[in-house]
Amino acid sequence: MSSLKMEELNWVDIKQAINNGFKTVVIGVGSTEQHGPHLPTQTDALTAEVIANLVARKLKNALQAQTIRVGCSDHHLSFPGTISLKKSTLQAIIYDYIDSLQKHGFENIVFIPTHGGNFNPLQKAVDKAKKKYPDIKIVAYTDLLGYVDTQNKIASDFKITVEEAGAHAGEVETSQILSLAENLVNRERFQPGFLGVLGEEEIEMLFENGMPSLTEIGVIGDPTKASKEKGKIYIEKIAVFLTKEIKKQL
Ligand SMILES: [Zn+2]
C-alpha cells in the first residue's frame, strides 16, 4: 500500500486492507492554538498527525484516519489564532469517528492525543464508547504525567532541564517542529517563557485564568536550545513509548 493514511486512499484499497487484516485504525488528536511567538498554531495538530502515523506503522496492520486538528484550548483563547472546542464538542467528534469507523470492520480504534487539554475529555469519551461497542477495543493514551515524564526523560539525555523542556512551546515542542516544518518556525523570536516549577497550583491557575497568568508570551519552557536533530529523536522515542503503551491496552 502506498500510504497508511485513509485520506490518501480510495475505498476499494481501504476495504481490501481491512479484509487483509488491517484491523486497527489510529487517530491523532491535536489542537489549533498559540504556541508562543515562534511556533505555528498547528503545532499540536502536526505532531498528532506524525506521531499517530508512526504509531500506526509500529503497531503494524494499522491504518490512520484523519487527524482531529482542533481540540480543547480555552486557556489559550486570549491569543489570536486559537480555536477551541468545548469538551462536549470534542467528545461528540470522538463518538462520530467511532460510530463511523466501527462500521467498516476495524477491531481496534486507537486515539493518540498530543495536547494536554484533550487528555481528560478524550478518556471520558473513550470510556463511554467502550460500553456502546463492547466487541471492539477502543483505546487512548491519556496519562498526561506519563507523557510529560517521557518527554522530560528524553530531554534529560540531552542535558535539557525539565523547566527548559517545558510543557508548552519550550525546547521539546520547538525541536519537534524544527524537525517537521522548519520553515514555520521563527528562530529570531526564541526566548524563554515561564521557567518556574509547574506544580499543581500553577496548573490550576493556568486552566482557570488562562496562559497569560503564567506567561505573557505563551511559552512554558525555553526554546533557545532547540534543534532539528533532537526533534527527530523526540518524535521517534515518543512514538516508541506510545506504541508500547497502546499494545498493553490491545
Ligand atoms: Zn503543544
CA 40 to ligand 1 center in whole angstroms: 10
In angstroms, the CA 30 to CA 167 distance is: 15
pLDDT score, position 84: 98
**Whether pLDDT at 57 is above 80:** yes
What percent of the chain clears pLDDT 70, i.e. is strictly above it?
A: 100
pLDDT tens, residue by residue, 72-99: 999 999 999 999 999 999 999 999 999 9
pLDDT score, position 185: 98
* DSSP-based three-state secondary structure for 168: strand
* DSSP state letter for 78: T
Lowest-pLDDT range, 56-60, 123-127, 204-208?
A: 204-208
CA 18 to ligand 1 center in whole angstroms: 33
CA 61 to ligand 1 center in whole angstroms: 29
CA 203 to ligand 1 center in whole angstroms: 15
pLDDT tens, residue by residue, 217-246: 999 999 999 999 999 999 999 999 999 999
What is the phi/psi pair of residue 112, to 5°? -120, 95
Report if pTM > 0.75.
yes
Computed over every residue of the chain, the mean pLDDT equals 96
Lowest-pLDDT range, 1-5, 42-46, 234-238?
A: 1-5
Task: List, as ranges, residues with CB under 5 A of the ion ligand 1.
Answer: 43-44
CA 42 to ligand 1 center in whole angstroms: 9
What are the boundaries of each domain within the chain? 6-249
Residue pair 146/119 in contact (Cβ under 8 Å)? The answer is: no
User: 6-249 maps to which CATH number?
Assistant: 3.40.50.10310
CA 76 to ligand 1 center in whole angstroms: 11
Give the pLDDT band of residue 202 (cuts 50, 70, 90). confident
